[in-house]
Structure 1
C-alpha cells in the first residue's frame, strides 16, 4: 500500500473514461443546487451541535443527530462502541453481490474552539457571509440560502462547517438526489463516521478491526482535507502521517536572579534556540543527517507533481511570505518529504508576567510529518542522534545531581506517533481510475481533475487500510481556504454544490 507509482498515460485515461461514461446520466449543476438548498437547514442544525471529541456527551449528540439523518434516507445504521464516543456505521440496504462495495469515510468531530477569536456570536451559531469590496467578510441574512438564489461565493462560517460536517451533508444530499431521480447505484454503499479524527483517531483501528465483517468493502473513499486551490475536482493518493516530539533543555536546578547569575549560569532558553537552529539551514531544509534519505523521487513522480496547477505566487501572497522554504522544487514536491516543525516553545514568561531570571528549563514541542518511507521511529532516532552530536547527554526526566555534576549539556527528548501514519496508494490503481472516471464524467476534462500524489495533512488512512486491507482514494470536497482547525472556519457554497455532484457520480458509477 505504501508504494506510489506513476499515473496512467492521459490517452489511456481518456479512453477509459469515454468507454465508461457513454451511457451515464450525471447530476446537473441546477439539480445539485436544488438538493443542496434542501439540505442547508439540516446542515445549520448539525453545525449548531458542539463536537469536540474530548466531550463524550457532545459526540453522542452528533452521532444521534446523524443516525437519524441517515435513517431518514433509508440507511440501516449501527453505533460502534468507542469508550462513550461511538462511531456511526450506515449502509444502504439491498446490496447487490454483482456490485463492488465502497466504504465512505468521514468524521463528525471537530477541533476545539476559542470563541473570542471568532468574528461572530459563537462558533456554534453558523452564519452566512459574503466578501466585501475591501476583501473582508460581512454577515448577511441567511434566509436566501434556504429559499432564494444562492451566490456560489457565499460562505457558511462555523466550527466544522468544512472539516468535516460539510462532506457528510453533501453525501446525504447526493442520496436525496439519487432517490429523487430514481437512479441506480453503481456500487454498494457503506459509510463510517469517525468520532475522534481530530484527536488522531486513536481508536479507529481497534473499532474497525472489531467490526471487520460489517465494514468489509472493496475500496475506501475518504472525504476529508481541502481541494486544490483552483476548486477543480481533486483526487489524492496519499497523505503524510503525524508524530510529536518533546525537547527539554535543562539549566540550573531553579530559576536564578539574572543580575547575580547572568553571564555565569548557562541559559537553557538560549541553548534550546541554538539547538533548534542547528536542525535547519537558511533554506528551511532539515540538516539532521539522513532525514530525507528515504524519499526517492524520479522523473515520473516529478512529472506528476509538475502537472498540478499550483499558482505559487498567489499562494505566497495569501500566506504573506516573500519566499518559501526550499525543501522541494515546488509546493507539491515539498509535501513528499518529512517535515520538522517547531509548533511551540516555552521558558519562564514574557509580557506582564516576566521576571528578571535565568530560566531553569526551556521546552520545545515539535510536530513531525512523516511519509510512507520515513516513519516516526526512523525520524525520532535521527533527531535523537543529532541532539547527542551537539554535545547533549539525554536523560529520561529531570536530571539527578550526579547527572548535573558529570554533563555540561542535559536534555530530555521523546517522540511518538500522533494522528496516524503516512499512507500511499498507486495513482494507476483500480480505485484511482474509478474515482478519476467519475470526476471526468461529472465535470469533464476542460480543465482536467487535479491528481495529487500525496497531501501534506494527515488523515487516519493507514489505520483504516491496515484494519481492512483494501485500497483507498482521498476525494476532498471543501475549499482550500476554509480555515480548518482555526477560527472563522468556513464552507464555500459553490464547493458544497460541486461536492454533491462528485459524490453522486461516485455512487452511480460501477467500480
Structure 2
C-alpha cells in the first residue's frame, strides 16, 4: 500500500555561530550538540546497510529457539563492535539481549531503549520476492506497484530516500535496532559522549505477546535500572513527521462457542426442526454491536475517561481521514470516536474468525452441532481483559444463554435451550498510558524539535492502537516511558511484503542520535 502523504521534514536552518558551537563541543569530547546533520546521518546509515541486510537474512520467528539464538549472537557481536558490553538474559532457550554503553556517569540520567529482535511468522508464497529472509531493494514502479532493483547502489552510491528494503522484520523491529547502531557510529565518529547513560534491551518474544518479559526483567532488575524507558516500535504518523506516543492498547483473546444438537444433522431431515447454532451465534454476535460499530455490551465503555485537554491533543494530530478511508477502501467508519485518534482510546471487540460446518468444496448439507467465534479485545489502561470479559459474559447470559465450562452434558441439553461456552485471557500485554506533559515527554519533544524543527511540530499521540509490552516493563522498573516510532506507517508490518523506507532509516538515525545527546 502507498501513502501519498509522506513528508520528509527539512533540516532546521542553523546559523554559523551554532555550527561553530557544535564543532567546539565535539572537539572537547563532551556531550554533542543535538542535531546530526542530514548528510552525516545519510553517510552513517549507508555504512550500516550491509549489516542490515545480513541481519534481515536471519530468520527470527520466536517459535524456533535456534533461530532466535543466532539473531542474539549476531546482535551481541554488532553491539560489542561498537564498544557496548553485552549480556544474554536467559529466557527458556530464547535469550533476550542486554547491552550497555560504557562510561556510566552518576550525574547523568539513564535511559533504557527497548526494541525487539523477533519477527512475525511468514508464508513465503505470499511474498513478491524469492524469500522473506532474502532482503531486496525496490522502487515505485510506473503502475504504482513495487519493482525490484539492483541493491549495489545502496551500499556505494546515491540512495533515493523513497527506495524501500523488503523483508521480514525490516521495519518491525530490526530496522530501529540498526538505526541505533548507526547512530552510535555517528556519535563515535564525532568524538563525543552521550548526554544520558545508554542501556538497551532487545526482546526475543514480542511478537508472541512478550509472555516472559516481566519475569526476565524482574530477575535482572538491578541490571536494567534506569530513569526512563524509550520504546522504538510501531509506525510513525502517516505524514512521516517525528512522532511521540504516550500509550498503547493491550490485547486479549476470547472464544465463544454456541451448541446445537449432539451431532451434525441432515439438513433435509432436521432443517426447520433442530436449531442451527451458526445462526444463533451470528445473532448473538450481532447483539454485541450496533450498525454504527459501537459495542452495545452494557458497561463496555463506562471506564473510559477522556479530558478536554486529551481531546485537544487528539484534534491536533494531522490525520487525513478522507485519504485514510480511500486507502482502506471503506465508505464510512465506525462511530466509536469522533475521529481516528479518539477511536483508539476505547476498548474494542473484534470478531477475528468464525467456524461451524465445512465451507467451500468441503461443504455438506447439515445443521452443524456447534459454531465457534474467535474474538480479540483491545484493552485500555482503564478497561483490562478481566473487566471486558466479565461484561461480555453478563451480556451472553442476558441473551438467554446458559454457560457451561465444556461440552454440555445430557442434563444440560435437556434443561436449557441455549447453551454456550465463553473464555477469555490476556495475550500477555496489558494497556499502558503516560501523561503527555511528563518529564520524559518534554525531553523527547525537545530532542525532536531541536533536530527536525518545531514547524511542523512533532505529532503527539495519546494512545496507539497496537500493542507492545509497555505495561509489563513499567510494572517491574517503575519508571516513565515514551514510545518513539521510527518506521513508515505503510510498512506492512505483520503481513507479507513488510518494508522499510530508506528515508525513515536516515531520520531514525538522527532521532536516536538526538535522544542520546540531549540531557534528560
User: What TM-score, normalized to structure 1?
Assistant: 0.95
2:509 counterpart residue number: 500
Distance apart, 1:291 and its partner CA: 0.6
8 A contact 1:419–1:458 mirrored in 2: no
Give the Cα–Cα distance (whole angstroms) in 1 for the partners of residues 366 and 497 of structure 2. Answer: 38
**2:169 equivalent to 1:160:** yes
1:452 to 450, 461, 470: 461
2:119 counterpart residue number: 110
**2:193 equivalent to 1:184:** yes
Distance apart, 1:94 and its partner CA: 1.0
1:281 counterpart residue number: 290
Distance apart, 1:366 and its partner CA: 0.5
Q: Secondary structure at the match of 1:382?
A: helix
Please, what is the CA RMSD of the aligned residues?
0.8
Give the Cα–Cα distance (whole angstroms) in 2 for the partners of residues 288 and 335 of structure 1. Answer: 18
The correspondence of residues 92-491 of structure 1 with structure 2, limited to 5 A, is 92-491=101-500
Distance apart, 1:33 and its partner CA: 0.7
Distance apart, 1:347 and its partner CA: 1.0
Deviation digits for residues 233-278 of structure 1 (CA, Å, limit 9, x no counterpart): 0000000000000101111111111111111111111111111111
Distance apart, 1:361 and its partner CA: 1.0
8 A contact 2:194–2:517 mirrored in 1: yes
**2:100 equivalent to 1:91:** yes
2:5 counterpart residue number: none
Give the Cα–Cα distance (whole angstroms) in 1 for the partners of residues 232 and 296 of structure 2. Answer: 35
Deviation digits for residues 78-133 of structure 1 (CA, Å, limit 9, x no counterpart): 00000000000000011011100000000000010011111111100111111112
Q: Secondary structure at the match of 1:191?
A: strand
Give the Cα–Cα distance (whole angstroms) in 1 for the partners of residues 175 and 34 of structure 2. Answer: 24
Give the Cα–Cα distance (whole angstroms) in 2 for the partners of residues 133 and 282 of structure 1. Answer: 40
Deviation digits for residues 25-80 of structure 1 (CA, Å, limit 9, x no counterpart): 41111111111111111011111111111110011010001001001100000000
2:28 counterpart residue number: none
1:51 counterpart residue number: 60
8 A contact 1:119–1:488 mirrored in 2: yes
Give the Cα–Cα distance (whole angstroms) in 2 for the partners of residues 95 and 151 of structure 1. Answer: 38
**2:79 equivalent to 1:76:** no
2:73 to 64, 67, 74: 64
Aligned residues: 490
Give the Cα–Cα distance (whole angstroms) in 2 for the partners of residues 61 and 138 of structure 1. Answer: 31
8 A contact 1:223–1:476 mirrored in 2: yes
Give the Cα–Cα distance (whole angstroms) in 1 for the partners of residues 428 and 354 of structure 2. Answer: 21
Deviation digits for residues 202-251 of structure 1 (CA, Å, limit 9, x no counterpart): 00000000000000000000000000000000000000000000101111
8 A contact 1:205–1:467 mirrored in 2: yes
Give the Cα–Cα distance (whole angstroms) in 1 for the partners of residues 49 and 364 of structure 2. Answer: 53
8 A contact 2:347–2:380 mirrored in 1: yes
Q: Secondary structure at the match of 1:308?
A: coil
**2:55 equivalent to 1:35:** no
8 A contact 2:34–2:518 mirrored in 1: no
Give the Cα–Cα distance (whole angstroms) in 2 for the partners of residues 320 and 40 of structure 1. Answer: 35
Q: Secondary structure at the match of 1:485?
A: coil
* Greater mean deviation of Cα atoms: 132-141 or 59-68: 132-141
Q: Secondary structure at the match of 1:212?
A: coil
Q: Secondary structure at the match of 1:214?
A: coil
Q: Secondary structure at the match of 1:57?
A: helix
8 A contact 2:256–2:373 mirrored in 1: yes
Distance apart, 1:356 and its partner CA: 1.1
Give the Cα–Cα distance (whole angstroms) in 2 for the partners of residues 267 and 475 of structure 1. Answer: 49
> Which consecutive residues of structure 2, in runs of 5 or more, have no partner in the other structure?
1-20, 23-32
Q: Secondary structure at the match of 1:412?
A: strand
Distance apart, 1:184 and its partner CA: 2.2
Give the Cα–Cα distance (whole angstroms) in 1 for the partners of residues 398 and 451 of structure 2. Answer: 56
Q: Residues 56, 421 of structure 1: CA spacing in aligned structure 2 closer, same or farther, 3 A cutoff?
A: same
Q: Secondary structure at the match of 2:423?
A: strand
Distance apart, 1:298 and its partner CA: 2.3
Distance apart, 1:419 and its partner CA: 3.6
Runs of 4+ in 1 over 3 A off after TM superposition: none
Give the Cα–Cα distance (whole angstroms) in 2 for the partners of residues 248 and 256 of structure 1. Answer: 18
